[in-house]
Amino acid sequence: MNSLNRFADPVYCIARLIIGLMFACHGGQKILGFPPSAHPGALDTLGLIGAIIELAGGFLIAFGFLTRIAAFFAAGEMAVAYFQFHFPNSFWPTINGGVAAAVYCFVWLYFSAAGAGPWSLDAKRGK
């Protein structure tokens, strides 16, 4: 057995926390104007739904509450964002500016399958 295995759960949960909070910042910029954005703009209905998923989903994932459901919705939102806004500009994510959307999509898809981990509110409530 690898001696680094003992760090797997803590590192996974810390990654879930940090990535979830970073995701929530995207929704916070759009809905609350915080953190300040270099490109503020008005939200249409689809943009508002996306921002709510980012803000609420980011916090749910970060704290490990309803993680599988929140991550599944967040993965779907990122897939829609990628194919609606980035993919039409180019096939390649590095060219079309969609790297973050693609990475978030697959990270959230993984979290929806893996769950919250032992350091989470889901674990505390026995889910």
> 71-87 pLDDT, tens per residue?
999 999 999 999 999 99
Q: Tell me what pLDDT residue 112 has.
A: 98
**Residue spans of beta strands (DSSP E) within the chain:** none
> Residue 49 — pLDDT band, cuts 50, 70, 90?
very high
C-alpha 85/C-alpha 98 separation (Å) is 8
C-alpha 1/C-alpha 114 separation (Å) is 21
> Residue 2 — pLDDT band, cuts 50, 70, 90?
confident
> Residue 1 — pLDDT band, cuts 50, 70, 90?
low
Q: Are 16 and 111 in contact (CB under 8 A)?
A: yes
Structure tokens at 122: 């889901």
